[in-house]
Amino acid sequence: KIVGSGGRVVNYVLPAPGGRLSRADGSHCYVFGGAMETLLLVGVDGSVSNLLQSSGITAVAGDGRCTFVAVGNTVYFLDSGSGPIPVLMAHKPIVDLVLGSSNCVFYVTGDGVGCMTKPGSAWMFLPQKTLSIDCRADRLLLLTADREVFLIDSVTGFSALVDQAVKSSDHIREKQ
């Protein structure tokens, strides 16, 4: 059930077992994964949009208009006017994505946590197994396999940091 403002309830049954949810904007969420071979955008008003046909979707982040989708070790960008555009090829499969508020897409692989600011600019900044990630109000929250919690209080400067790290050979970079 999806409960909207004013207590309006919309019943929505996942079309296949093992599906996952990811936040989009204030009135939509993404439904994907498991046995599903589609990426859906579901609204609190009951609307359902099929955004992508693909098996193996492992993570989704976006705002409902611009969407990033992970399939295996590749992240694709979707917007309303084009098909999927590959924007990142990681060393290992991507298991989670979150959208930062400053043009950053944070991703989790078996190697750790990285940040992509644009195609060609991605940096694995925390080479540590990570269980959970979330970003809200310009704050990034990470839970590592060692049960450490990291709170990065502002991700505003991450774009410049990633761009600088990509230029440096001293940092772990993802393939582009």
Give the model's confidence band at 11: pLDDT under 50 very low, under 70 low, under 90 confident, else very high. Answer: low
CA distance 9 to 75: 33
Q: Is the pLDDT of residue 1 over 60?
A: no
Q: Is the pLDDT of residue 103 over 50?
A: yes
Q: Is the pLDDT of residue 175 over 70?
A: no
Which pTM value belongs to this model?
A: 0.85
Give the model's confidence band at 173: pLDDT under 50 very low, under 70 low, under 90 confident, else very high. Answer: very low
Q: Is the pLDDT of residue 172 over 60?
A: no
Q: Is the pLDDT of residue 124 over 70?
A: yes
Q: Which residue has the higher pLDDT, 96 or 102?
A: 96
Q: Which helix (H) or strand (E) holds 62?
A: strand 57-62
**Confidence at residue 128, expressed as pLDDT on a 0 to 100 scale:** 92
Cβ(104)–Cβ(118) under 8 Å?
Answer: no
Question: What is the average pLDDT value for the chain, to the nearest integer?
Answer: 84
Summarize the confidence of residues 30-52 as an average pLDDT.
89
Min mean pLDDT across 39-53, 56-70, 156-170 is at 156-170
Cβ(70)–Cβ(58) under 8 Å?
Answer: yes
Using alpha carbons only, what angle is made at residue 30 by residues 151 and 27, rounded to the nearest 5 degrees?
Answer: 85
Q: Cα separations (Å) of 100 from 37, 40, 114, 117, 136?
A: 26, 21, 12, 10, 7
Sorted by sequence, the CB contacts under 8 Å of residue 139 that are 6+ apart come out as 151, 152, 153, 154, 155
